[in-house]
């Protein structure tokens, strides 16, 4: 199967805001990019061979519903990392010592009293194990930067503590080929579908 991991479009939030699993709206004009992405994917979701799943957060759900003509399935496991006490705060206003504590053990630490990266990885992986053997030609996931980074790391067997090095821009597409336990990364965080 072809597996497409798509990050939601840019949300309407203050620059530098920590918004993790906050439900924030998309910025005006997101539909134009969504139309270009839908045309570039050129996947017909009328049937069982092609399936779309999305995070329950509005910024992912709206894009998924658009590109799948309303045939996308909610998967709560695809929700972004919960930053707990940091949610809704500007990154620059979070005490440096708290960020340093997180950086010391980015996989397991959660000084913000939310989810650790490992918790996100575990929930995403358990969900994947529950759906990966379904007969799909194309599987599209519309989710978030953190989810895509940990998922790619697990699929490619890369160290989870290095997933922050993966660049997943807004509306980017990461494409993998999955045949049983064999996974091949085709493109990572690409935005090359955008028309000039």
pLDDT one-digit tens code per residue, 102-149: 999 999 999 999 999 999 999 999 999 999 999 999 999 999 999 999
**To the nearest 5 percent, what fractions of the chain are helix, strand and coil?**
35, 20, 45
Q: Is the pLDDT of residue 52 over 90?
A: yes
Q: What is the DSSP string of 94-161?
A: S-HHHHHHHHHTTTT--TTSS--HHHHHHHHHHHHHHHTTS--SEEEEEE-HHHHHHHHHHHTT--GG
Quick one: average pLDDT of 173-188? 94
φ, ψ of residue 63 to 5 degrees: the values are: -65, -45
Residue 52 near residue 41 (C-beta atoms within 8 A):
no
For residue 173, what are the β-bridge partners?
6, 190
Residues 6+ apart with CB under 8 A from 181: none
Question: Confidence band (pLDDT; 50, 70, 90) for 193?
Answer: low
pLDDT in tens, 58-80: 999 999 999 999 999 999 999 99
Considering the chain, what is the average pLDDT of its residues? 95
CA separation for the pair 99, 67 (Å, rounded) = 36
CB burial class (10 A; 0-12, 13-18, 19+) of residue 114?
Answer: middle
Query: pLDDT-based confidence at 196, cuts 50/70/90?
Result: very low
Q: Which helix (H) or strand (E) holds 77?
A: none
What is this structure's pTM? 0.95
Structure tokens at 31: 């539909």
Mean pLDDT value of segment 35-57: 95
| 194 pLDDT tier (thresholds 50, 70, 90) | low
Q: How far is 131 from 75, CA to CA, in rounded Å? A: 11
């Amino acid at each position: 199967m072809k597996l497409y991991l798509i990050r939601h479009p840019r949300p309407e939030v203050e620059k530098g805001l920590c918004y993790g699993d906050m439900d924030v709206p998309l910025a005006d004009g997101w539909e134009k990019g969504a139309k270009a992405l839908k045309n570039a994917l050129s996947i017909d979701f009328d049937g069982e061979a092609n399936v779309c799943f999305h995070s329950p957060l509005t910024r992912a759900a709206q894009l998924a519903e658009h590109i799948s003509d309303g045939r996308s399935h909610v998967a709560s496991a695809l929700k972004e990392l919960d930053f707990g006490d940091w949610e809704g705060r500007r990154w620059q206003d979070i005490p440096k010592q708290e960020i340093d504590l997180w950086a010391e053990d980015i996989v397991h630490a959660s000084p913000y009293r939310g989810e650790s990266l490992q918790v996100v990885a575990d929930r995403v992986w358990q969900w994947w194990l529950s759906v990966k053997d379904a007969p799909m030609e194309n599987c599209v996931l519309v989710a978030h930067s953190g989810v895509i980074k940990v998922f790619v790391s697990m699929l490619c067997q890369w160290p989870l503590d290095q997933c922050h090095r993966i660049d997943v821009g807004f509306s980017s597409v990461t494409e993998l080929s999955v045949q049983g336990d064999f996974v091949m990364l085709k493109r990572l965080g690409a935005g090359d579908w955008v028309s000039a």
